[in-house]
Structure 1
Amino acid sequence: MKTVQFEYGSGFMPAELPDSADIFIPGETVKDPAHLEDPIAATREAILNPIGMPPISQSVSRGSKITIVFPDRVKGGSHDTAHRRVSIPIVLEECLKAGVEKKDIALICSNGLHRKNTEQELLEILGPEVFNAYYWEGQVTNHDSEDWDNLVDLGRNEHGDKVVMNKTVYDSDLVVMIGHTLGNPYGGYSGGYKHTATGITNWECIASHHIPRVMHRDDFTPVNKHSLMRQKFDQIGKWMEKCMGNKFFTCDAVLDTFGKQIAVFAGGCGDIQPLSFEVADKRTYANWATKKYDIMMFGMPQNFHYGNGHGTNPVLMMQAIAAQIVRHKRVMTDNCVVICSSLCNGYFHDEEFPSYRKLYDLFQSEYHNTLVDLNKHIEYLSLDEEMIKKYRFNYGYHPFHGFSMTSCGHIAEMNTKAVYIVGAQEPGFARGMGMKTRATFEEALQDATRYTGENPNILALPHAFTRAAMHLGNKD
């Protein structure tokens, strides 16, 4: 037997696994490609020599309005050489050297439907120099997807999807998108046009792709960069460019497991997106497995990705489990079993996720047999004025965000025989989402053999949520 430590709350829960169990740890089992020795020099080189667009120095001058758009706290890190901290000062330097006045530069956090970033979080993301130079003058803001004084309705694109975008971005002479190309279960990668199609728009636009008719297709699971969702990201981003009359000047970094830059590309979003994907493929898709697995095991901390409560909020728990299915479906047997540790103590974090308890309660009643049935309430919750107020003014997630999570969560039900939560302090919340509960990994593993038979192939995934994940494939 071998002992594996899985995340649980703010600590770990041990599991005794058979020696035959395979363990995969991002960045260790399969090493990342080498990261850049000098990310500052590489980023400067990319920005000064953009692909498919003229350099910033030739695109702006005195009187030009510049907007720099950067991702929120969910991705990218805040270490000294994090991509945002490296790239934004270089962009600012180029603009100011070209004659742009400081007052004509805006920095917008592309939080989309995520909660707005606090003053302290913006400081950590941007670093003290940029933050202090621009924040106190009101030039650093969060995107507000409900502020119709600063939104532009661009109608519907050629594919019938409603497109809305941030007005400051729309009115700019140059828009610089700072993004990260990192493995993501939603359309393969973050960055590129996904950044624009989710970060600077509104819930109606996001409802064209973060919904069951897009996410429950065969081209969504397993994850890939050719799904309908990915196509919609590109279509929406290009529609924004067409309406603006300008390309997004994009500076995306391909990141490794620990947030270090593997490569940096700058230029037109449509020009650099395939280049960054090509490099990212070498890190993200790990063709490692030699067999199909019957059981997938991992642990869920309380605080990760979307915030404190992700690992205890039952709706988000189901989404996180489904995301692992989406990432690793290629190496799992059809209708496999998932075993996951979670405190599952009923902590929804209502301040940060104001719509989620209501969504969970609705699921328990009114003929809601599957998570998809909840979608009849999209407008009811998404237009709730009190919840919108919490998103706009009290650092809460937008009410539609929960529906994008239930759309993902149902993928676990579609692709598993059973999902077990181990160590639940309030197991009724897990059972309310259709999951089974056991006290320990060993008890769950024993019960799971009813579905898999004796001697199942086990895939253990420590650090599944505390490191940037990879997408597993077979060696063949």
Structure 2
Amino acid sequence: MKRFEFEYGAGTMSAELPDDTDVFIPGETVSDPPCIPEDKLEQAYIDSIRHPIGMETLDHLANPDSKVTIIFPDIVKGGTQPTSHRKMAIRVILEELGRIGLPDENILMICSNGLHPKNTQEEIHKILGDDIFNRFWYKHQIINHDSEDYNHLVDCGYNEAGDRVFLNKYVYDSDVAIMIGHTQGNPYGGYSGGYKHCATGLNHWRSIAAHHVPAVMHKKDFVPVSTHSTMRHKFDQIGQWQEKSMDKKFFCCDAVLDSQSRQIEINSGWAKEMQPIAWKTANKRTFVPWAKKKYDVIVFGMPQKFHYGDGMGTDPIMMMQALSAQVIRDERIMSDHCVFICSSLCNGFFNDNRWPYMRELYKDWTEDKLNMNKLSDMNRLGEYYATNKEYIRRYRYTNAFHPFHGFSMMACAGLAEKDTSAIYIVGAEKPGYARAMGLKTRATFEEALEDAKKKFVGPHPNILALPRTFTTMSAHLMMADEDPSVQ
């Protein structure tokens, strides 16, 4: 037997699995493409920014009188190390704008948090580092996007697909809009960065409701993850409509990142032409053709705190979203009767500060007074929650998720049940929460595996262990004979 440690709460839980269990750890089992050495990073940024793809350089776009917005993603993505993409890109861009003669007072930095919580002062400081933070924060030139601040939103109408589009007014009114993004694997549409950045991060929930909903996320093209899904196309359509509405292109600076958030490649320019180039390199890191067989059992662990914050691994709806993200990433290597076994505290902690509406969502779902037969049925309550004045107030003023964000979580969460034969949660302190979501519970990994053998996968299943699933930048696993370049 092989011994494994899987994420669980703030620590790990042990498992004894058969000797023939395969293991995949991003960046280790298959090495990432080489990252740019630290001593060459600054020059790489200069070269990229001075040679943008598909558009003019900053010294042609801006002059000393220009109003410039610099848009950067929130704490959820991208790393905070001294050489992180955000810190390096913004520093070099500020130097380029300084060469033009643009004064600091003409620059506004905007955190593109979208429906995510507004980042706190401490988080902004961590994202940007001492120099940039101290240079702009105390002059009130660093703000969060507020998707409910109608004085600073522009209604761009409906695009050709019939989707409503909004845009941050500060960005709309600026002469040059610069977006710092990450070409980073994402189960929603393939990659972050590019047009996904502005379509979600600078928009309004009514526009996000065009794609983060069952009508899009339950289409056949959504699983497994790819850059050819309806969702990805909607990101591009919405971002390009924003550009058309403000009569200028976003100047993007996106970095392809490795499993430790180090820069593999930096690409700048117009998202429409830059994205496909960035994706070619990103595919080599993100879509990994590795598996030589389909897996009947996939084993991993879930900490209490990861991507979206403390409680993601205990709140039952967020827990389901995380499970579904694994389906989206790994469906190519899953057998038709695949079973997940995952450790989670599952202790009923909802984090009411972060998601003040989740208890009510869970109650509406589990009490079934509204005839909810599956999670996607909850989507019809989206308007009810998204217009709740108290939940909106919490989003605007207490660093909570916007109430509509819960509906994208539920739309995704339904995929876990749809595309697996069973999901076992092991180590649940309050197993009733898992059972209410349609999951099975057992005390240990070993008990769950034995039960799965009897009921679903037979006595000799192919087993894959995924340690550090939620604490390392994930890969999208593929069969060894699949071509990652076409994703």
What range describes the TM-score normalised by the shorter chain of this pair? over 0.9
Correspondence list, 1:184-333, <5 A: 184-333=186-335
User: How many matched pairs?
Assistant: 476
Give SS of 2:30's match: coil
Aligned residue in 1 for 2:35: 35
Contact 1:40–1:81 (8 Å) recurs in 2: no
How many angstroms apart in 2 are the aligned matches of 1:475 and 1:61?
Answer: 51
Match among 449, 452, 464 for residue 459 of structure 1: 464
Could you tell me how far 1:62 is from its partner in structure 2? 2.0
Match among 406, 421, 440 for residue 436 of structure 1: 440
How many angstroms apart in 2 are the aligned matches of 1:61 and 1:285?
Answer: 41
1:144-202 deviation per Cα after TM superposition (whole angstroms, max 9, x unaligned): 00000100000100000000110000111000000000111000111111001110001
How many angstroms apart in 2 are the aligned matches of 1:164 and 1:59?
Answer: 24
Contact 1:221–1:329 (8 Å) recurs in 2: yes
How many angstroms apart in 2 are the aligned matches of 1:131 and 1:44?
Answer: 21
How many angstroms apart in 2 are the aligned matches of 1:224 and 1:247?
Answer: 25
Match among 415, 421, 428 for residue 424 of structure 1: 428
Aligned residue in 2 for 1:408: 412
Could you tell me how far 1:100 is from its partner in structure 2? 1.7
Aligned residue in 2 for 1:143: 145
Contact 1:293–1:457 (8 Å) recurs in 2: yes
Q: Which amino acid aligns with 2:354?
A: E
How many angstroms apart in 2 are the aligned matches of 1:335 and 1:173?
Answer: 54
Give SS of 1:116's match: coil
Aligned residue in 2 for 1:129: 131
Give the root-mean-square deviation of aligned CA atoms. 0.7
Could you tell me how far 1:97 is from its partner in structure 2? 2.0
How many angstroms apart in 2 are the aligned matches of 1:48 and 1:157?
Answer: 32
Contact 2:337–2:457 (8 Å) recurs in 1: no
Contact 2:191–2:227 (8 Å) recurs in 1: yes
How many angstroms apart in 1 are the aligned matches of 2:87 and 2:261?
Answer: 12
Q: Which amino acid aligns with 2:467?
A: P
How many angstroms apart in 2 are the aligned matches of 1:54 and 1:309?
Answer: 44
Could you tell me how far 1:41 is from its partner in structure 2? 1.4
How many angstroms apart in 2 are the aligned matches of 1:335 and 1:72?
Answer: 38
Aligned residue in 2 for 1:164: 166
Q: Which amino acid aligns with 1:400?
A: F
Contact 1:70–1:107 (8 Å) recurs in 2: yes
How many angstroms apart in 1 are the aligned matches of 2:214 and 2:56?
Answer: 40
How many angstroms apart in 2 are the aligned matches of 1:125 and 1:179?
Answer: 13
Could you tell me how far 1:53 is from its partner in structure 2? 1.3
How many angstroms apart in 2 are the aligned matches of 1:60 and 1:25?
Answer: 44
Could you tell me how far 1:405 is from its partner in structure 2? 0.4
Correspondence list, 1:42-191, <5 A: 42-191=44-193
How many angstroms apart in 1 are the aligned matches of 2:460 and 2:188?
Answer: 33
5+ residue gaps in structure 1?
A: none
Contact 1:341–1:423 (8 Å) recurs in 2: yes
1:250-277 deviation per Cα after TM superposition (whole angstroms, max 9, x unaligned): 0000000000000000111111101110
How many angstroms apart in 1 are the aligned matches of 2:337 and 2:140?
Answer: 52
Q: Which amino acid aligns with 2:430?
A: E
Could you tell me how far 1:96 is from its partner in structure 2? 2.3
How many angstroms apart in 1 are the aligned matches of 2:363 and 2:46?
Answer: 51
5+ residue gaps in structure 2?
A: 482-487
TM-score of the pair, normalised by structure 1: 0.99
Q: Which amino acid aligns with 2:111?
A: C
1:437-469 deviation per Cα after TM superposition (whole angstroms, max 9, x unaligned): 110000111111111111111111001100000
Could you tell me how far 1:68 is from its partner in structure 2? 0.3
Could you tell me how far 1:423 is from its partner in structure 2? 0.2
| Farther off after superposition, 137-146 or 450-459 | 450-459
Q: Which amino acid aligns with 1:253?
A: A
Could you tell me how far 1:335 is from its partner in structure 2? 3.7
How many angstroms apart in 2 are the aligned matches of 1:343 and 1:176?
Answer: 41
How many angstroms apart in 2 are the aligned matches of 1:283 and 1:31?
Answer: 8
Aligned residue in 2 for 1:349: 351
| Farther off after superposition, 1-10 or 450-459 | 450-459
Contact 1:209–1:229 (8 Å) recurs in 2: yes
Kindly report structure 1 stretches of 4+ aligned residues shifted beyond 6 Å: none
Q: Which amino acid aligns with 2:247?
A: G
Aligned residue in 1 for 2:380: 376
How many angstroms apart in 2 are the aligned matches of 1:244 and 1:382?
Answer: 27
TM-score of the pair, normalised by structure 2: 0.97
How many angstroms apart in 2 are the aligned matches of 1:330 and 1:303?
Answer: 27
Contact 2:337–2:456 (8 Å) recurs in 1: no
How many angstroms apart in 1 are the aligned matches of 2:157 and 2:322?
Answer: 33
Q: Which amino acid aligns with 1:27?
A: G
How many angstroms apart in 1 are the aligned matches of 2:335 and 2:347?
Answer: 31
